[in-house]
């Protein structure tokens, strides 16, 4: 709609209720001032689509894409006839809109956006699960407050974060809210390309959110683009209940189809690695300590472990020189070169040994946020991987971005992350980015962006001074961060007490919950992160068995921050897996197996919390039961405080 | 005592009750007639011993040896002053006696024994768990009858046995009996060397057993020995209850100390192998079938599997040429040479690959009972093993003994088996004999005789036309065959239905019982016999964890043929394992953990029958629970029909 004075605006209804009240649209531009008033509708165009596309891997094989689109072309009626187009889409699972800066009638061929002025006017004061609108890192715990109580600025200077910058009272996306009538909304964006990440500035009093793009102190603006261009989609996913949010594929649908034709070189996998031991201080990334983790011998041990347990990858961190000059140093450019192994790590032999065992080394490129260095090294680094027939790298961006004045979530970095993934595709390399830009669905376009971090991961449990992730963390993440896309949480800690390595930290889940995470969390790469010696446990069979690529995913029940129960069918096998996790409260979770195909029968193994299980008092108490499960089965399982439930359902191939 | 007419005789009291009434002693000799009448006591001598000796490995580390001995020297008072000495020993756990043929006053320097006439006169009609006195094979199911109803001759011509010869109504030893007052007796022999195995002829009417030695049709006698010599000990182990029998070490104590000084080359181990698949008809021993099991590639797969799961050996059967000319052929001499691998089996590469993984190939020498061939090849075969640094061989003696007229349990074969083990010791080789002579404790003298078969093993479950071993089989074996010594039952079948390989057979136990067998059965070599792919199950962790060498063993409760509960402490770790198995009846079994050291705490994993478990209807139903167990713990566990219970108790190293 256009308000008086020609201001573009929109509102959102869900059934009969007004979800988002009149919200203004527009931009503040350098030189050209505010765009978003005095406009007239030049033309509108309607379009719709209803088709299904195939994911190469994913939480479901075939994605339904069904929307109606309205294009509104706006123009100021007087010179310079400033134009702005807006695409609105209505999906069954939400709404989205994006701006287009079309060619202008004057000499305006570039815009410098000082900020985007997109409003989201709430109509009540919902409960919000939010992290602060940090320009540099997403690794904050979620806060649960009324919208009117959001106070992101109180989250400054977190002692557990290497870098953080929260310039105003804003939240990061995805951010999920529950309205009084139980409707749930997730605000996010899709197809973030050559643009700055969006935070949402919070006006507590007026229940209003306004887009606040991540900026560049170096350049003094938020975004610079040549005309014509389109912004990312601004999205609101809508569901009548919490669990329904997880059925939404709108973010993916808003991205362009894959640009990679041949993806045969990558297969979803579980992996082991030399990583958790560094967080336990058992070994170090650097060699100077005398406790270097990434040695030839140790990597081969991990390969043996992986090969024996069906894990197809081994991540080796700390393999390359430079770790003596990492966190804590300002001058981090030119330190890492991503091709020079430490003296005690024979890269070629390790890779060859892995190949002989059907296990690929997962490369590791810690940039230490020295982005120019990585850009310069990128081809060289990927050429080495190509020469070794390696197809996945975990990248890292710990620390303040170099060049100074840039932030992890600004346009400069958005472009860097995109350049890396596009370059990687040429070399048949998949990217698992840590300290990444948030996922806005570009895995549809670049499926080699297989996973990323972008939330407070397992490693915080090893050393965070706040005691690690509380039990509610993942039952929130499942409805917030996971709305963006796959994430590499690295579950599977069995030595939950972290003894003898850590005296003041422990994992705040039961053992059963660690198993359940392999089903609850979607990622085509899932780490079994604990030390191999801790997997001498019957429950490890679940990790061996569990799938990483899914024909379909069926969220069964849950409430944000309380619990979630998820069922997923493995692609290609017909096996199913069920995972449930709860927060600090025990609860009974019902699993109605009617989602199984009629007439089938499954040899099920149930991994559930034992009688005395409790995330703090007795995290190891676990009961494993084998049973036959059919679509007629309907069971209630008890989850302990901080507990979980994991069920493997192996299709019975031969009739009994 | 000497009866009237100078007949030597003995009787046995236990506390105040007469267990064995007056029983005559003597021999029928060729040329010299009956020895055992008209004797007088020339001299008696008393001796005693109370010491402790160390086993290199075993069901307990230190064995207490405490007895009082009476030597009775008998002599006929007239020419030729025939002499016979008898040693009687009284232990806390039974009685034993042996004959000595001392130097004689005349020219008698050799005796040819037509039969030994040693009586065991029962005083009531006990319940007996017996197998027929077969001269050729021990692999019969046990019968449970009153003594008066023993009918061994009805067991002739068993369709599942390759050879069998039961010449009279006799039973083999060990044979166990229960008296009305609950006292249990096991009759057996110890230190069987250069003598024939003893069966016990049954006189149903008079409740009398008489020694009936295994003979030689070829030679027409039972035993031929140069004087002086001693016979094996005739033994009666006595306990007030069934379970107490299993504390008896009398058989070991009656054997001479070890003749091997350096045993560092052998370590007790679990092992995998290419074996069960032949019994499933998945592959074959021979190469002509086109389904040869022992290929280089497959052996390496088994090595990988073993290495990944802490199994230190891989048995490869069918590795050497000759299997096309095996069972069913009369002319089996010179067929196997034990040094020529099949063309598709690269012995050197397989052994080297195993060595690189810390896994030793277990050699296999199937003699097909062509004993002369094996005798001729023995040094050559062992030299090959020595050159490959291999230290264990499984021997086999399937079929009728060549030379014809000899039987597996006669003096000829007793000497052969002993010659093999003595020769093996020179080459630092351990023997696991199948189709062996029964164990009479010679592992004390020759610890390299590490295990043997000598009962109806797991393989009968794969193909026996009688439906395999019934659930009562092992709860009988534990109190009968196991009284002789370790046995290589090869437990651990997880694919209990045997599908898709077998339509008419299955294992008649639950999955939990297969685990329990690793604790119930003592053997320093224990196979995980199933196909590696069937071990993708959480319960396999128990097999990974369970010990094979014990500091001590504590039989907890049980009744012959009904159930047994055994606790064993692993040597060197302080970890404990508990196993319980039951027959076709469900039952509750109590485990009082007060046997654990005071002040200790264990991280326990309990593997028990699931709610619906039943050896036939639902053998897979299994529940695994983790819990903390202390000496104060006292729990009752439910065992399903054909069910079991296995508990691993891992010593908690660090205080919580």
Taking CA–CA distances from A608, the nearest residue in chain B reads: B625
Q: pLDDT tens, B305-327?
A: 999 999 999 999 999 999 999 98
Q: pLDDT tens, B372-407?
A: 999 999 999 999 999 999 999 999 999 999 999 999
CB contact under 8 A, A540 and B538: yes
Q: pLDDT tens, B339-363?
A: 999 999 999 999 999 999 999 999 9
- Token pair of B115, please? 């039969």
Cα separation, A480 vs A477, in Å, equals 5
Within its chain, how far is the Cα of B246 from the centroid? Answer: 13
Nearest to B625 among A545, A610, A654 (CB): A610
**pLDDT (0 to 100) of residue A654:** 42
Cα separation, B442 vs B262, in Å, equals 17
Nearest to B622 among A626, A628, A656 (CB): A626
- The model's confidence at residue B656, banded by pLDDT at 50, 70 and 90, is very low
Q: What's the number of CA atoms in the CB half-sphere (13 Å) around residue A497? A: 13
- Which residues of chain A have a CB within 8 Å of the CB of B618? 628
Q: What is the pLDDT of chain A when averaged over all its residues?
A: 96
Cα separation, B488 vs B136, in Å, equals 18
Position A655 pLDDT exceeds 70: no
Cα separation, B93 vs A466, in Å, equals 63
**pLDDT (0 to 100) of residue A653:** 60
Taking CA–CA distances from B625, the nearest residue in chain A reads: A623
CB contact at 8 A, B311 and B368: no
Supply the DSSP symbol for B403. Answer: S
CB contact under 8 A, B623 and A620: no
Q: pLDDT tens, A451-472?
A: 999 999 999 999 999 989 999 9
Position B514 pLDDT exceeds 70: yes
CB contact at 8 A, A97 and A88: yes
A71 inside 8 A of chain B by CB: no
Within its chain, how far is the Cα of A304 from the centroid? Answer: 30
Per cent of chain A over pLDDT 70 is: 99
**pLDDT (0 to 100) of residue A621:** 97
Count contacts between A and B (CB, < 8 Å).
82
CB contact under 8 A, B309 and A308: yes
Position B537 pLDDT exceeds 70: yes
Sequence-distant (6+) residues with CB within 8 A of A297 are none
**pLDDT (0 to 100) of residue B252:** 98
**pLDDT (0 to 100) of residue A127:** 98
Supply the DSSP symbol for B15. Answer: T
Length of chain B: 656
Cα separation, A163 vs A159, in Å, equals 9
3-state class (DSSP) for residue A644: strand
B545 inside 8 A of chain A by CB: yes
Shortest Cα distance, chain A CAs vs residue B607, angstroms = 9
- Which residues of chain A have a CB within 8 Å of the CB of B514? none
- Write down the number of H helices and E strands in chain B: 10, 35
3-state class (DSSP) for residue B378: helix
CA distances from A360 to A357, A572, B302 (A): 9, 22, 22
**pLDDT (0 to 100) of residue A656:** 39
Enzyme catalytic residues of A: 459
CB contact at 8 A, A304 and A297: no
Mutate to test the interface with A, among B297, B310, B353, B538 (most CBs of A within 10 A): B538
CA distances from B242 to B185, B238, B429, B479, B595 (A): 9, 9, 36, 7, 19
Sequence-distant (6+) residues with CB within 8 A of A533 are none
Cα separation, A138 vs A454, in Å, equals 5
Averaged over A607-623, what is the pLDDT? 97
Residue B387: exposure state from Cβ atoms within 10 A (0-12, 13-18, ≥19): exposed
CB contact at 8 A, A290 and B294: no
Residue in A643, A587, A636 with CA at minimum distance from that of residue A614: A643
Averaged over B526-537, what is the pLDDT? 97
Shortest Cα distance, chain B CAs vs residue A65, angstroms = 39
CB contact under 8 A, A626 and B499: no
Q: Which helix (H) or strand (E) holds B101?
A: strand B94-101
- Which residues of chain A have a CB within 8 Å of the CB of B654? 499-500
Catalytic residue among B277, B459, B551, B569: B459
CB contact under 8 A, A622 and B625: yes
- Which residues of chain B have a CB within 8 Å of the CB of A603? 620
A471 inside 8 A of chain B by CB: no
Cα separation, B111 vs B218, in Å, equals 17
For strand A525-527 and strand A269-274, is the pairing parallel, antiparallel, or unpaired?
parallel
CB contact under 8 A, A538 and B541: yes
- Token pair of A639, please? 């989850």
Nearest to B626 among A304, A610, A626 (CB): A610
Cα separation, B438 vs B433, in Å, equals 10
Averaged over B228-250, what is the pLDDT? 98
CB contact at 8 A, A646 and A581: no
- The model's confidence at residue B653, banded by pLDDT at 50, 70 and 90, is low
Sequence-distant (6+) residues with CB within 8 A of B356 are none
CA atoms B431, B446, B544, A495: torsion sign: negative
CB contact under 8 A, B539 and A537: no
Residue in B494, B561, B496, B555 with CA at minimum distance from that of residue B521: B555
CA distances from A560 to A472, A509, A585, B392, B627 (A): 9, 17, 13, 60, 31
Sequence-distant (6+) residues with CB within 8 A of A2 are A8, A9, A39, A40, A41, A74
**pLDDT (0 to 100) of residue A373:** 96
Q: What is the pLDDT of chain B when averaged over all its residues?
A: 96
Residue in B49, B552, B488, B520 with CA at minimum distance from that of residue B253: B49
User: What is the value of ipTM here, to two decimals?
Assistant: 0.88
Averaged over B361-370, what is the pLDDT? 97
Q: Measure the CA dihedral B32/B36/B42/B45, to 10°.
A: 120
- Which residues of chain B have a CB within 8 Å of the CB of A621? 625-627
Q: pLDDT tens, B539-593?
A: 999 999 999 999 999 999 999 999 999 999 999 999 999 999 999 999 999 999 9
Q: pLDDT tens, B44-80?
A: 999 999 999 999 999 999 999 999 999 999 999 998 8
**pLDDT (0 to 100) of residue A2:** 81
Taking CA–CA distances from A500, the nearest residue in chain B reads: B654
**pLDDT (0 to 100) of residue A328:** 85
Q: pLDDT tens, B79-105?
A: 889 999 999 999 999 999 999 999 998
A307 inside 8 A of chain B by CB: yes
Nearest to B626 among A536, A621, A628 (CB): A621
Taking CA–CA distances from A652, the nearest residue in chain B reads: B499
For strand A33-35 and strand A40-54, is the pairing parallel, antiparallel, or unpaired?
unpaired
Sequence-distant (6+) residues with CB within 8 A of B86 are B8, B25, B71, B72, B74, B97, B98, B99, B100
Mutate to test the interface with B, among A270, A538, A547, A625 (most CBs of B within 10 A): A538
Shortest Cα distance, chain A CAs vs residue B613, angstroms = 9
CB contact under 8 A, A536 and B539: no
- Which residues of chain A have a CB within 8 Å of the CB of B544? 536
**pLDDT (0 to 100) of residue B160:** 87
CB contact under 8 A, B612 and A620: no
List, in sequence order, the alpha helices (H) in B162-295: 250-253, 276-279
Q: Measure the CA dihedral B258/B261/B262/B267, to 10°.
A: 20
CB contact at 8 A, A615 and A654: no
Sequence-distant (6+) residues with CB within 8 A of A92 are A66
B598 inside 8 A of chain A by CB: no
Cα separation, A496 vs A520, in Å, equals 19
A541 inside 8 A of chain B by CB: yes
From chain B residues 493-512, the ones with a CB under 8 A of any chain A CB are 497, 499-500, 511
Please list the residues that pair with B209 across neighbouring strands: B120, B202
Position B523 pLDDT exceeds 90: yes
Position B242 pLDDT exceeds 80: yes
Taking CA–CA distances from B607, the nearest residue in chain A reads: A624
Q: How many CB atoms lie within 10 A of CB B528?
A: 28
Q: pLDDT tens, B431-485?
A: 999 999 999 999 999 999 999 999 999 999 999 999 899 999 999 999 999 999 9
- Which residues of chain A have a CB within 8 Å of the CB of B646? none
Q: What's the number of CA atoms in the CB half-sphere (13 Å) around residue A51? A: 6
Q: pLDDT tens, A262-292?
A: 999 999 999 999 999 999 999 999 999 999 9
- Give the Cα-Cα-Cα angle A369, A370, A373 (nearest 5 degrees): 140
- Token pair of B62, please? 């230190």
**pLDDT (0 to 100) of residue A215:** 97
Per cent of chain A over pLDDT 90 is: 94
- The model's confidence at residue A156, banded by pLDDT at 50, 70 and 90, is confident
CB contact at 8 A, B56 and B263: yes
Please give the domain boundaries of chain A with CATH numbers for all domains: 4-253 (2.70.98.10), 260-454 (3.20.20.70), 468-526+538-656 (3.20.20.70)
CB contact under 8 A, B654 and A500: yes
Cα separation, A445 vs A256, in Å, equals 5
CA distances from A79 to A30, A82, A105, A576 (A): 18, 7, 8, 62
Q: pLDDT tens, A245-259?
A: 999 999 999 999 999
CB contact under 8 A, A623 and B620: no
Position B328 pLDDT exceeds 90: no
**pLDDT (0 to 100) of residue B654:** 42
Shortest Cα distance, chain A CAs vs residue B241, angstroms = 35
State the Rg of chain A over Cα: 25
- Which residues of chain A have a CB within 8 Å of the CB of B607? 538
Position B655 pLDDT exceeds 70: no
A542 inside 8 A of chain B by CB: yes
């Amino acid at each position: 709609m256009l308000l008086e004075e020609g201001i573009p605006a929109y509102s959102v209804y869900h059934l009969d209720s007004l979800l988002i009240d009149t919200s203004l649209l527009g931009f503040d531009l350098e030189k050209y001032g505010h765009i978003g008033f005095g406009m007239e509708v030049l033309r509108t165009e309607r379009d719709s689509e209803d088709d299904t596309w195939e994911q190469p891997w994913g939480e479901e094989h075939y994605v339904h894409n069904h929307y109606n689109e309205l294009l509104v072309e706006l123009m100021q009626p007087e010179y310079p006839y400033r134009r702005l187009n807006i695409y609105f889409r209505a999906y069954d699972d939400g709404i989205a809109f994006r701006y287009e800066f079309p060619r202008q009638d004057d000499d305006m061929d570039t815009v410098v956006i000082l900020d985007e002025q997109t409003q989201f006017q709430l109509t009540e004061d919902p409960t919000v699960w939010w992290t602060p609108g940090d320009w540099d890192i997403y690794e904050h715990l979620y806060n649960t407050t009324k919208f009117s109580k959001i106070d992101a600025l109180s989250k400054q200077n977190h002692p557990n974060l290497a870098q953080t910058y929260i310039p105003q009272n804003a939240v990061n996306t995805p951010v999920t809210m529950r309205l009084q009538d139980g409707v749930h909304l997730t605000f996010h964006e899709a197809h973030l390309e050559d643009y700055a990440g969006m935070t949402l500035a919070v006006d507590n009093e007026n229940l209003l959110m306004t887009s606040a793009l991540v900026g560049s102190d170096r350049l003094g603006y938020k975004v610079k683009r040549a005309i014509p261009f389109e912004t990312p989609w601004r999205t609101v996913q809508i569901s009548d209940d919490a669990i329904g949010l997880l059925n939404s594929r709108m973010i993916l649908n808003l991205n362009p189809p894959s640009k990679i034709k041949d993806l045969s070189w990558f297969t979803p996998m579980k992996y082991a690695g030399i990583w958790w031991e560094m967080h336990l201080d058992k070994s170090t990334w650097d060699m100077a300590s005398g406790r270097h983790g990434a040695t030839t011998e140790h990597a081969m041990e991990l390969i043996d472990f992986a090969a024996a347990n069906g894990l197809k990858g081994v991540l080796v961190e700390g393999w390359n020189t430079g770790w003596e000059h990492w966190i804590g140093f300002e001058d981090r450019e030119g330190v890492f070169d991503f091709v020079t192994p430490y003296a005690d790590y024979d890269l070629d032999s390790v890779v060859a040994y892995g190949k002989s065992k059907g296990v690929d080394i997962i490369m590791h490129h810690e940039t230490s946020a020295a982005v120019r260095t990585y850009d310069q090294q990128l081809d060289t680094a990927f050429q080495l991987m190509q020469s070794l027939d390696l197809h996945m790298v975990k990248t890292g961006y710990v620390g303040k971005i170099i060049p100074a004045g840039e932030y992890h979530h600004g346009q400069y970095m958005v472009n860097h992350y995109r350049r890396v993934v596009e370059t990687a595709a040429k070399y048949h390399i998949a990217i698992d980015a840590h300290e990444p830009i948030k996922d806005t669905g570009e895995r549809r376009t670049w499926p080699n962006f297989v996973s990323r971090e972008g939330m407070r991961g397992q490693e915080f449990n090893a050393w965070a001074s706040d005691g690690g992730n509380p039990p509610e963390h993942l039952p929130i993440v499942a409805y917030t961060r996971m709305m963006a896309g796959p994430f590499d949480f690295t579950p599977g800690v069995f030595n939950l007490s972290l003894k003898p390595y850590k005296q003041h930290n422990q994992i705040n889940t039961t053992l059963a919950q660690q198993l359940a995470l392999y089903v609850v969390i979607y990622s085509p790469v899932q780490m079994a992160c604990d030390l191999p010696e801790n997997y001498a446990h019957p429950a490890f069979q679940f990790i061996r068995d569990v799938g990483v690529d899914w024909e379909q995913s069926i969220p069964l029940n849950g409430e944000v921050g309380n619990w979630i129960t998820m069922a997923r069918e493995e692609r290609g096998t017909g096996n199913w897996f069920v995972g449930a996790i709860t927060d600090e409260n025990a609860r009974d979770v019902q699993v109605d197996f009617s989602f199984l195909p009629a007439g089938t029968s499954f040899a099920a193994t149930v991994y559930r919390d034992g009688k005395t299980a409790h995330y703090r008092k007795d995290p190891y108490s676990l009961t494993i039961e084998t049973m036959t499960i059919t679509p007629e089965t309907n069971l209630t399982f008890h989850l302990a405080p901080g507990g979980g439930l994991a069920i493997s359902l192996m299709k019975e191939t031969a009739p009994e």
